[in-house]
Amino acid sequence: MDGLRWIPTSSLKNWSESRLENIRQLIIQTTGESYQKPRLRKLPLDEKFGLWILSDGLTDHGLLWAMKMSEKHARVLAFSVAENLQGNGYGSKGWSHFARAAQSSGIRTVQLEVRQDNFGAVQMYHRRGLRPKGCLRGFYRGYDGWLMLGPLHANASSQ
Ligand SMILES: CC(C)(COP(=O)(O)OP(=O)(O)OC[C@H]1O[C@@H](n2cnc3c(N)ncnc32)[C@H](O)[C@@H]1OP(=O)(O)O)[C@@H](O)C(=O)NCCC(=O)NCCS
């Protein structure tokens, strides 16, 4: 698809119902997780580095949302690229945008939760310096998750 870019977006509080519903469906399709719209609106996302959308100018095709946990530590709450666009480098670019913006805000470390059987995502985070720090038993409707944590890097490395 042409013209897709990661762009910082405004607070979800200001989104229309239809835009929020579209992103809610994207989250369901990519992760199986179903969130109510009022809950999405209340997510404490950081307006400087935590509100990224993959957009063609009209429609949202991906999201990377993060919050500030402390002065130097952030948590990624949601990261998805539409299924038909996965594996084309968009996720990697989204991570870089987020990481650079977060670094500019003083963030040095990051954490997130990921299903243990989501091997592609676990490897992707591993190549960006995150390591499993704790097992989240039954975190995803009965499936185990990892809490992954590490320094914030904008790019992948082979480590
Ligand atoms: C995880 C996700 C956001 C990555 O976005 P993407 O656009 O597919 O990612 P990219 O094409 O940029 O690939 C990112 C890396 O994963 C690798 N990769 C891509 N597809 C892969 C696959 N099917 N299996 C294994 N690795 C894969 C790429 O080689 C790339 O490697 P790198 O670390 O050397 O850069 C996307 O796949 C997604 O939405 N998955 C479903 C939701 C999800 O699992 N979110 C994460 C929950 S914590």
Please write the tens of the pLDDT for every residue from 29-75: 999 999 999 999 999 999 999 999 999 999 999 999 999 999 999 99
The protein residue whose alpha carbon is closest to atom 8 in ligand 1 is: 86
Domain spans, the chain: 5-151
What is the pLDDT, as a whole number, of residue 159? 60
Residue 121 has pLDDT above 90, yes or no: yes
pLDDT given for residue 141 in this prediction = 84
Residue 118 in contact with residue 136, Cβ under 8 Å?
no
Tokens of 30: 């990519």
* Residue ranges in 12-151 assigned as alpha helix (H): 17-31, 37-41, 90-104, 119-127
Distance 15 CA to ligand 1 centre (A): 27
Mean pLDDT in residue range 148-155: 96
Nearest to 30, CA basis, from 94, 76, 81:
81
Element of type H or E holding 123: helix 119-127
CA of 81, closest atom in ligand 1 = 39
Q: From the CA of 125, how far away is ligand 1's center (Å)? A: 9
Nearest ligand 1 atom to alpha carbon 93: 12
Q: So what's the pLDDT on residue 139?
A: 83
Assigned CATH class of 5-151: alpha beta
Ligand 1, CB within 6 Å, residue ranges = 30-31, 79-81, 86-92, 112, 114, 118, 120-121, 123-124, 127, 156
